[in-house]
């Protein structure tokens, strides 16, 4: 057997394997993959025809027409392959397909290929049985191929930015190796290697850009990146929305609270004001819920552990639940194990938030009967396991809905009951927070009879010197809380770009009898200090146009002998913000809407005589 046949045969085998590997894999169906499929099929046929060409030279003398047809088909395959390749480059460079252009291109190629068969071809025999073809048909085909490659290069030059990527590597290979092959063919016209070059290019393509596995991973990664970006955009939107909602809420809550303390307001009007406050509180709960969910999704939710008074939290929860029950015919039972230590170490605010969620739900979904809140405990070493249960005789939850319970925005069986307020966020947040604290949440419920939610959370017990210090602080705090804060003679400067917020702060501060001055920008605040004005406290809004509160603080600290306490006033209420502002150099932190107790604390700390 002629040993010269081994190389073309192995190329055919390789091409066949490539076809098998490519078509047996699951692919993402795009125009590019479609065109690539054609590239490998045409290459396979070109390799077979190339093999036939060596046989064609042997039968040339007897069957010149058949032999010429085989040579012309070889040229046709060459044009077809390069035209498909040019098409492929077009898809890589232009995202949209121009159907009209596509059709015109198809007809030009078809017409161009048919012409090959009408032009003369001649075989020049090189001694023995090998030879090479010449004649108009051959020159025409090479020029046609040259024009197509030129079109590809032109398209690339017009889109150079896009073309400098890994995707175009095969084209550069084709240009380099195609040129080498052409030069080789000039010197040795009998050498037919163009199909091998094509074979090499398609296999490079397979291993770099057209491997279905790699493509799928690439597409999945792109989809994942897009999803992450969309999620981030959503979280940013939610947190900026909740910031925007907090600002007007500050005005609503602030003015309402000050009206409640105004003796000139009639008792009847005060009832309305209380309703306004209650509605604003629910709105604030909602905003906080949205903020929490956006933080959970952005993985920004943090558990901040400190020492806290468990009994204080229990009492607050009881008071809040009683207020929520109002006139509802509900018996509220509550109890806790006396063995639970007073001071625990953990995220007290979050513990309170998750229990309040359960209690609020029980009150919300129970028309009559009872709601029972119990805290039991198991103590081991310095850890107390709090077993918190909230039971009710309410509407209950269907068995099939229990699994969906902790999914956000999922509201069960309340479709028709439009009067029950809710977003379906509470339990999703509760579960996440409890899990972040290392605890568990479980539900038992009988539809129509009631539900029992149980949380178990481990908290450290505060003991020794630390406990002594806390008990001592508590004693002095109790005494201090009895004192009426009189800050007369003290000067407070409030800086906020929002006029309404300035008026709210003014109203709330009035109760402390201090002198209040308001300015609406950071630069005005700096001018006052530079001009020698002295204050006992500065309340500084952070989000202001031109110069933010944080930038203002930096400038203030550059002023010689500046030592006035500065408290940031912000609607940026994300967890961890307090710590961030304190680390920036602010002395204290007040979130909007201003909570009266918090303002009391700040005033006491900085303005007490």
Q: Which of 73, 190, 194 lies closest to 123 in space, CA to CA?
A: 190
C-beta closer to ligand ADP: residue 292 or 392: 392
Q: Does 452 bind ligand ADP (CB under 6 A)?
A: no
The piece of 38-46, 52-60, 377-385, 420-428 that touches ligand ADP (CB under 6 A) is 420-428
Smallest gap from residue 91 Cβ to ligand ADP (A): 48
- Is 451 a binding residue for ligand ADP by CB under 6 A? The answer is yes
Min separation Cβ 354 and ligand ADP, Å: 11
In this structure, what DSSP letter does residue 395 have?
Answer: S
422 forms part of the interface with ligand ADP (CB under 6 A)? yes
Q: Residue 147: name the closest of 66, 230, 83 by CA.
A: 83
| CB 455 to ligand ADP: min, Å | 13
How is residue 29 written in tokens?
Answer: 């169906």
Which range of residues in 181-189, 389-397, 484-492, 575-583 is near ligand ADP by CB under 6 A?
Answer: 389-397
Quick one: 286 or 470, whose CB is closer to ligand ADP?
A: 286
From the list 262, 281, 430, the residue with the least C-alpha distance to 359 is 430
- Please name the helix (run of DSSP H) or strand (run of DSSP E) that holds residue 162, with its range, or none: helix 160-163
Task: Identify which of residues 236 and 421 has a Cβ nearer to ligand ADP in the complex.
Answer: 421
The span of 25-33, 119-127, 412-420, 591-599 binding ligand ADP (CB under 6 A) equals 412-420
Query: What tokens appear for 442 in the block?
Result: 């479980």
Cβ(407)–Cβ(428) under 8 Å? yes
| Residue 478 Cα to chain centre, angstroms | 46
Are 460 and 345 in contact, with CB atoms under 8 Å apart?
Answer: yes
The residue within the footprint of ligand ADP, chosen from 424, 497, 548, 564 (CB under 6 A), is: 424
> Of 165-173, 294-302, 407-415, 516-524, which segment contacts ligand ADP by CB under 6 A?
407-415
Decide if residue 395 touches ligand ADP (CB under 6 A): yes
Least distance to ligand ADP, CB of residue 412, Å: 4
Q: Does 405 bind ligand ADP (CB under 6 A)?
A: yes
**Would you count residue 522 as binding ligand ADP (CB under 6 A)?**
no
Q: In sequence order, what are the residues at sequence separation of 6 or more whose Cβ sits closer than 8 angstroms to the Cβ of residue 195?
A: 11, 43, 46, 47, 49, 50, 77, 78
330 binds ligand ADP (CB under 6 A): no
Total of residues contacting ligand ADP (CB under 6 A): 21
Report the C-alpha gap between 15 and 44 in whole angstroms. Answer: 6
Give CA 98 to chain center in angstroms: 35
Is the CB of 242 or the CB of 550 nearer to ligand ADP? 242
Residue 296 lies near ligand ADP (rule: CB under 6 A): no
444 binds ligand ADP (CB under 6 A): no
Q: Which of 606, 573, 503 is nearest to 254 (CA)?
A: 503
Tokens of 559: 């002023």
Packing angle, helices 310-325 and 348-364, rounded to 10: 20
Helix, strand, coil percentages (3-state) for the chain, rounded to 5, are 60, 15, 25
Nearer to ligand ADP among residue 250 and residue 362 (C-beta): 362
Does residue 178 belong to the site contacting ligand ADP (CB under 6 A)? no
C-alpha 359/C-alpha 318 separation (Å) is 9
- Shortest distance, position 419 Cβ to ligand ADP, whole Å: 12
Token pair of 291, please? 């903020």
Determine which residue in the list 54, 239, 361, 572 makes contact with ligand ADP, applying CB under 6 A: 361
The minimum distance between CB 291 and ligand ADP, in angstroms, equals 15
Give the footprint of ligand ADP on this chain (CB under 6 A). 361-362, 365, 392, 394-397, 405, 411-414, 422-428, 451
């Amino acid at each position: 057997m002629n040993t010269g046949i081994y190389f073309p045969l192995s190329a055919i085998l390789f091409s066949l394997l490539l076809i098998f590997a490519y078509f047996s894999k699951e692919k993402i169906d795009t125009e590019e993959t479609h065109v690539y499929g054609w590239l490998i099929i045409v290459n396979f046929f070109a390799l077979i025809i190339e093999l036939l060409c060596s046989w064609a030279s042997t039968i040339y003398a007897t069957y010149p027409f058949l032999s010429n047809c085989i040579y012309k088909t070889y040229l046709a395959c060459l044009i077809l392959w390069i035209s498909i390749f040019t098409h492929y480059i077009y898809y890589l460079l232009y995202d949209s397909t121009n159907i009209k252009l596509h059709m015109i291109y198809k007809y030009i190629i078809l017409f161009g290929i048919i012409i090959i068969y009408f032009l003369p071809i001649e075989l020049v025999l090189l001694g023995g049985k090998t030879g090479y073809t010449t004649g108009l048909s051959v020159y025409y085909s090479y020029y046609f191929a040259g024009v197509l490659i030129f079109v590809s290069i032109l398209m690339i030059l017009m889109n150079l930015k896009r073309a400098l990527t890994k995707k175009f590597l095969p084209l550069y290979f084709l240009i380099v190796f195609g040129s080498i092959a052409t030069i080789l063919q000039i010197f040795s016209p009998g050498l037919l290697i163009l199909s091998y070059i094509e074979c090499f290019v398609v296999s490079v393509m397979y291993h770099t850009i057209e491997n279905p596995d790699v493509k799928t991973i690439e597409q999945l990664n792109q989809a994942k990146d897009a999803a992450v970006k969309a999620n981030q955009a959503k979280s940013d939107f939610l947190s900026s929305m909740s910031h925007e909602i907090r600002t007007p809420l500050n005005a609503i809550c602030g003015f309402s609270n000050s009206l409640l303390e105004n003796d000139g307001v009639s008792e009847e009007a005060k009832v309305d004001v209380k309703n306004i406050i209650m509605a604003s509180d629910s709105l604030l709960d909602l905003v906080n819920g949205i903020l929490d969910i956006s933080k959970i999704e952005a993985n920004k939710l943090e558990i901040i552990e400190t020492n806290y008074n468990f009994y204080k939290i229990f009492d607050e929860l009881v008071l809040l639940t009683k207020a929520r029950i109002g006139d509802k015919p509900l018996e509220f039972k509550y109890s806790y194990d006396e063995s639970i230590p007073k001071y625990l170490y953990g995220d007290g605010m979050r513990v309170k938030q998750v229990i309040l969620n359960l209690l609020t739900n029980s009150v919300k979904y129970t028309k009559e009967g009872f709601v029972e809140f119990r805290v039991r405990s198991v103590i081991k070493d310095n850890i107390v396991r709090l077993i918190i249960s909230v039971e009710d005789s309410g509407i209950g939850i269907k068995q099939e809905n229990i699994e969906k319970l902790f999914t956000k925005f999922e509201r069960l069986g309340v479709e028709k009951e439009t009067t029950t307020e809710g977003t379906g966020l509470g339990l999703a947040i509760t579960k996440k927070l409890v899990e972040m604290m290392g605890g568990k949440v479980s539900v038992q419920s009988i539809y129509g009879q009631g539900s029992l939610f149980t949380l178990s959370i481990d908290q450290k017990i505060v003991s020794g010197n630390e406990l002594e210090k806390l008990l001592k602080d508590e004693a002095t705090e109790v005494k201090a809380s009895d004192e009426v804060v009189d800050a007369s003679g003290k000067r407070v400067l409030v800086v906020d770009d929002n006029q309404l917020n300035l008026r709210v702060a003014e109203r709330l501060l009035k109760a402390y009898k201090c002198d209040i001055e308001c300015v609406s920008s950071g630069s005005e605040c700096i001018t006052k200090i530079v001009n020698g004005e002295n204050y006992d406290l500065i309340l500084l809004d952070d989000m202001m146009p031109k110069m933010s509160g944080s930038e203002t603080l930096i400038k203030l600290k550059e002023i010689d002998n500046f030592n006035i306490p500065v408290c940031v006033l912000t609607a940026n209420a994300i967890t961890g913000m307090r710590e961030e502002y304190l680390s920036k150099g602010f002395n204290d932190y007040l979130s909007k809407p201003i909570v009266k107790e918090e303002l009391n604390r700040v005033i006491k700390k900085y303005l007490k005589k």
